[in-house]
Chains A and B, each alone.
Chain A
């Protein structure tokens, strides 16, 4: 049972364009939503995270948009660069000592 649905599976974006990755969840107890970035041969690394009390969080070229009523959140990468080419995972967890639940990942390719 997949608790976090992520789309698209793969994405090709031109250099300088905007990359958008979407995630949806059903468990209303989720209250922490991080995004992880994974390069080949490496483990996932925390990129940015948001809690449901805000609708948007921006860190540099990376922005999370959060829609609590729709139970959706998305990652926007502005001015995408070839170095952003990686697999991106959204995740969620409820309060307490519970593990992160991950989406299945989006492989992003930024082409020049």
Chain B
């Protein structure tokens, strides 16, 4: 059974640019959650999508957005990049996202903003 696939693995962007990250969940999983991981703040919740609908949203500015497609694949977009957006972005899939049970994480996308 294939795991959660995140692409690309690494990205370097310039301040002010925008970026799109992709996440393909485990087959059959309908919930995809996104987290930002930084050394100082740990893992912080961005948003969760279930059946193409955003079901939960964390405390991030509107520059961070996402969507989910009918095949459960998800993308997140960050516009007008800032230096502070440099982080590891992780997505996690689960069957239905209920209670955060049995998240399976991808290996993440390392974003560096210069």
Closest residue of A by beta carbon distance from B43: A102
In the docked arrangement, what's the CA distance between A46 and B3, Å? 13
Return chain A residues, CB-CB under 8 Å to B50: 97
In the docked arrangement, what's the CA distance between A94 and B90, Å? 21
| 19 A-B pairs in the complex with CB atoms less than 8 angstroms apart | A32-B100, A41-B107, A43-B92, A43-B107, A43-B108, A89-B42, A91-B100, A93-B100, A95-B99, A97-B48, A97-B55, A99-B45, A99-B56, A99-B97, A100-B45, A101-B45, A102-B44, A103-B42, A105-B43
10 A-B pairs with the lowest CB-CB distances in the bound complex, closest first: A43-B105, A100-B100, A104-B42, A93-B100, A102-B43, A99-B45, A32-B99, A44-B105, A43-B107, A43-B90
Q: Is the CB of B103 within 8 A of A97?
A: no
Q: Is the CB of A98 within 8 A of B106?
A: no
B33 within 8 A of A: yes
A96 within 8 A of B: yes
Known: A44-B90, A104-B41, A104-B42. A98 touches B56 (CB 8 A): yes
How many residues of A are in contact with the other chain, CB < 8 A? 26
Closest residue of A by beta carbon distance from B59: A1
In the docked arrangement, what's the CA distance between A27 and B103, Å? 21
Question: A45-77: which residues lie under 8 A (CB-CB) from chain B?
Answer: 45-46, 49
